[in-house]
Amino acid sequence: MPTDFNAKADEFIARIQSANITASTDVVLIFHLVKADDGSPIPPVEISIAPSTTVKGGPSQEQRRQFARSVFIGQIIANINSLVRPLSSEPIQMRETGDRLVIVQDVEMEIIDSQS
């Protein structure tokens, strides 16, 4: 049964919205792939989707932090929507796999806090 990538995106977004996301948080998507021509597995591709966000100026340091966190989370969600939601069982080319056509069988998400 093919993976429902829309459901995966919804799940990932819900996890992001409920997580304690800080400036030290990294969010990584792990794509599980097979070669399109023969279906043989290839090593997973990991892509960090956490942006670098800096806010300068503004009324107070706390307001800058809150705004930066909001922008940070919004960009992570936008990255999930652009990288996970459009996936299907059709072959694609990824920069990380060179000229090889691959099929994404599944995608996972890890939320990593480097201060832990």
Give the position of tokens 């800096």.
Answer: 54
CB 94 within 8 A of CB 17: no
The mean pLDDT of the chain is 91
Rounded Cα distance between 75 and 9, Å, is 14
pLDDT for residue 112 is more than 60? yes
Give residue 62's identity as a one-letter amino acid code.
Answer: E
What pLDDT, on a 0 to 100 scale, did the predictor assign at position 116? Answer: 53
Q: What is the mean pLDDT of residues 65-93?
A: 93
- Any idea where the domains of the chain sit in the sequence? 5-113
Give the total residue count for the chain: 116
What pLDDT, on a 0 to 100 scale, did the predictor assign at position 109? Answer: 98
Give residue 32's identity as a one-letter amino acid code.
Answer: H
Total-model pTM: 0.89
> Residue 7: enclosing H or E segment and its boundaries?
helix 5-18
Residue 111 CB partners (closer than 8 Å, separation 6+): 15, 16, 19, 21, 25, 26, 27
Name the pLDDT band for 61 (thresholds 50, 70, 90). Answer: confident
pLDDT in tens, 17-54: 999 988 789 999 999 999 999 999 999 999 999 988 77
User: Sign of torsion, CA 74 76 79 80?
Assistant: negative
